[in-house]
Structure 1
Amino acid sequence: MQTWKRRAKELKRELFVLYLAYKDPRVSRWLRLFTLCVVAYAFSPIDLVPDFIPILGYLDDLILVPLGIYLALKWMPNEVIAEYRAQAAELAKKEKPKNWLVGGLIIFLYVALFVWLLQFLAERFI
């Protein structure tokens, strides 16, 4: 259990490294975009797949977010990562930033899906 807690703290610290590094001009545009997506989704207050859905609800938290962090760090230049590690430790001590823009986008997707489903059902059964 201690290993899992340690890994979760490391993952959180690495997420803050990405949060700071995605604006760095030494990082390519595509990697910045990918990193921005990973960080925005991780800090989003709303998950794409809600946690109350069995198994799938925790899949994004246990697999997608760590995989995104891993890939972004793997593709990021080492000097950029080293530069932001110290700042990330300080930032991680504070409260986690919330990304309400991505949360709003996910809510919009849910509403659009619900409206589409209602229209689909109305055409089929009415």
Structure 2
Amino acid sequence: MVDMRKLKEIKNNAKKYIELAKLIYADSRTPRVSKILLWIAIAYALAPVDLIPDFIPVIGSLDDMVIVPVLLYIAIKTVPKNVYIENYVQVLRK
């Protein structure tokens, strides 16, 4: 059975993470490589073409669930710590 509270928490966390990514992207102190990685992650998530086609059971969907978060993780890790923290605090205040 699906726990509705857990799904709501995941949804709220996803919204906060998207807001954080927007703020980091808009910040002029964010390195270009971080911005490029954010764009690649968004483009890959929205692109109709995948590295592994979705019609292949399990693995087809798994690539989307792995590649996009890994790209986002790397993009966030390349952001200076002070820029990340300042933008993270802004998201928490909302």
TMscore range, shorter length: 0.5 to 0.7
Please tell me whether Structure 1 or Structure 2 has the larger radius of gyration of its CA atoms: 1
1:69 is aligned, of 72, 78, 85, to 72
Aligned CA distance change for structure 1 residues 38 and 45 (closer, same or farther; 3 Å): closer
Contact 1:22–1:32 (8 Å) recurs in 2: yes
Are 2:71 and 1:81 equivalent residues in the alignment? no
Q: Report the equivalent of 1:115.
A: none
2:35 is aligned, of 32, 35, 44, to 32
> Which ranges in structure 2 are unaligned for 5 or more consecutive residues?
none
> Which ranges in structure 1 are unaligned for 5 or more consecutive residues?
91-126
Percent of matched pairs sharing the same residue? 30
Aligned CA distance change for structure 1 residues 9 and 52 (closer, same or farther; 3 Å): farther
RMSD: 3.3
Are 2:18 and 1:15 equivalent residues in the alignment? yes
Q: CA deviation at 1:9?
A: 4.6
Q: CA deviation at 1:54?
A: 0.9
TM-score w.r.t. length of structure 2: 0.61
Aligned length: 89
TM-score w.r.t. length of structure 1: 0.50
